[in-house]
Chain A
């Protein structure tokens, strides 16, 4: 005879809540989870504190993106959007349900999502790149026609990137040109600011007509550790920033790019 597997919730005289699946008592965590799942529309006051926590976790799970029912981090969705994957066509927010025009699955395993993102990151430098723009003192006296727009952005914009839904729980880590690590948003942002000031001053010291700097940071994402990393270690300690200006020239309207000096940043200097 088949055993009765009905889920039961019993409150003892001492107020303890116990869960049973048929005759077998379940561990509290598993019982709470199963009970809440089966009774998710019950009034809130009928739940215990722990059941409420399970209910919140269930809601978060239902709202989250998944792969074959396993919850995934929102950053993957952001990156897939950049790759123009039609994620809105996924059933129940599950990426494993996505199919191409021929009806074949786009992703057979979750690692196919990682492969796709990884391949793009390896082949397209701009895929994970964030640019900031800084006007040097001379910028105010610039010839407007030299520049495409009048808006100067700054390092503060990096904070907007960090505040996006998918990156809000990430730690920013910056290695400065000397290779010292700056971990945490405030310290790392300050390190980026100091770096931009240092570059600006070095450029100004040899080219008074330098007016505009653009820093394009190729950040690295470590999704498992929830870290966003920028390595500014000096790759050419024997070559000064000033040498690039001397070699490339700094006439009005010229633009000089420095892409091999520091690990994760390309610097563009415009002259007026």
Chain B
């Protein structure tokens, strides 16, 4: 079967679905976090956000195998969580400073997996050997999920929802790192500026005793950390997005959070198509 790889944009995916519907061709849309694949008898068109090296998938498999063997993971997976109704999101305000302090936890998710007995020494070493840009996706694959929309005669007749059984472990890791960040935020008090995943930014003039408390807390919790040189730090917050600019280790960086989400946009488009149909498809959840 031929596979065609195309950059994932909402327009690209919509165009393909609309064409196939007009042609009354049978097809399946498999929509996941990083990839949307349209499968016909003729071949596959794969719309991708990123392309990862094979070592990412190999490492992800190592993690999954370890996690499925781990007793602690079984408890995490079996715990029946209701949705969280105790929010912890940050109240980020616009901020600007010539220089700020920044502590980054080294290999945060890998260490969290390791300190909680979810992976072996060998897997821990493998994750740590990967560059930072590959570490998060290989851990994130614990929560692989996709939805399959089956089309016939221009209408969707069936929907399969798949979520990896190890997904709760990934959400547990996110929670754990979030707790670490929240404790640091608490210790910093008025000197806290902002945290993002595994790095926290705070006032350059923070009293040394506060910093010592943070270092002690991280060491006691089993996390290695490092300080980064951050200059020309600026956060701009408006109702639609947050823009973060800084010069980190002499490299200018800019991040925009909450502006665009192609995956979500494609999902909304697929759901809107369903709503317009007169016949509603069967929806099955596969775990």
Q: How far is the CA of A227 from the CA of B183 in the complex (A)?
A: 20
Q: How far is the CA of A125 from the CA of B83 in the complex (A)?
A: 8
Q: How far is the CA of A238 from the CA of B187 in the complex (A)?
A: 48
B89 contacts partner chain A, Cβ-Cβ < 8 Å: yes
B87 contacts partner chain A, Cβ-Cβ < 8 Å: yes
Q: How far is the CA of A219 from the CA of B85 in the complex (A)?
A: 7
A118 contacts partner chain B, Cβ-Cβ < 8 Å: yes
Which B residue sits closest to A114, measured CB to CB?
B182
Max count, chain A CB within 10 A of own CB: residue among B89, B180, B186, B280: B186
Q: Contact string, A61-76, partner B, CB cutoff 8 A, digits 1/0?
A: 0000001001000000
B179 contacts partner chain A, Cβ-Cβ < 8 Å: yes
| Candidates A110, A127, A238; contact of B183 at CB < 8 Å | A110
Closest Cβ of chain A to B85, distance in Å, is: 5
The total of chain B residues at the interface (CB under 8 A) is 24
Closest Cβ of chain B to A238, distance in Å, is: 6
Q: Report A-chain residues with C-beta under 8 Å of the C-beta of B186.
A: 67, 70, 110-111
Q: Kindly state the interface size class of chain A when it binds its partner.
A: 20 to 34
Are the C-beta atoms of B89 and A224 separated by less than 8 Å?
Answer: yes
Which B residue sits closest to A263, measured CB to CB?
B83
A218 contacts partner chain B, Cβ-Cβ < 8 Å: yes
Are the C-beta atoms of B275 and A220 separated by less than 8 Å?
Answer: no
Q: Report A-chain residues with C-beta under 8 Å of the C-beta of B275.
A: 237-238
Q: Report A-chain residues with C-beta under 8 Å of the C-beta of B84.
A: 118, 121-122, 220
A117 contacts partner chain B, Cβ-Cβ < 8 Å: yes
Are the C-beta atoms of A222 and B179 separated by less than 8 Å?
Answer: no
Q: Contact string, A119-145, partner B, CB cutoff 8 A, digits 1/0?
A: 001111101100000000000000000
Q: Contact string, B237-275, partner A, CB cutoff 8 A, digits 1/0?
A: 000000000000000000000000000000000000001
Q: Contact string, A222-257, partner B, CB cutoff 8 A, digits 1/0?
A: 111101010000000110000000000000000000
Q: Contact string, B191-210, partner A, CB cutoff 8 A, digits 1/0?
A: 00000000000000000000
Which A residue sits closest to B188, measured CB to CB?
A70
Q: How far is the CA of A237 from the CA of B280 in the complex (A)?
A: 12
B82 contacts partner chain A, Cβ-Cβ < 8 Å: yes
Chain A, 36-95, CB within 8 A of any chain B CB: 67, 70
Q: Report A-chain residues with C-beta under 8 Å of the C-beta of B182.
A: 111, 114
Closest Cβ of chain A to B87, distance in Å, is: 4
Q: Report A-chain residues with C-beta under 8 Å of the C-beta of B180.
A: 111
Are the C-beta atoms of A121 and B86 separated by less than 8 Å?
Answer: yes
Query: Please, could you name 12 A-B residue pairs with CB atoms under 8 Å apart, sorted by A?
Result: A70-B189, A111-B179, A114-B179, A117-B86, A122-B83, A122-B86, A123-B82, A125-B82, A128-B85, A225-B91, A237-B275, A264-B85
Q: A222-B87, A224-B91 are in contact. List 13 more A-B contacts (CB 8 A).
A: A110-B186, A111-B186, A114-B179, A115-B179, A118-B88, A122-B85, A125-B85, A127-B85, A218-B85, A222-B88, A223-B88, A224-B89, A224-B90
List the 9 closest A-B pairs by CB distance, nearest first: A111-B183, A222-B87, A121-B86, A110-B186, A225-B91, A220-B85, A122-B81, A224-B91, A111-B179
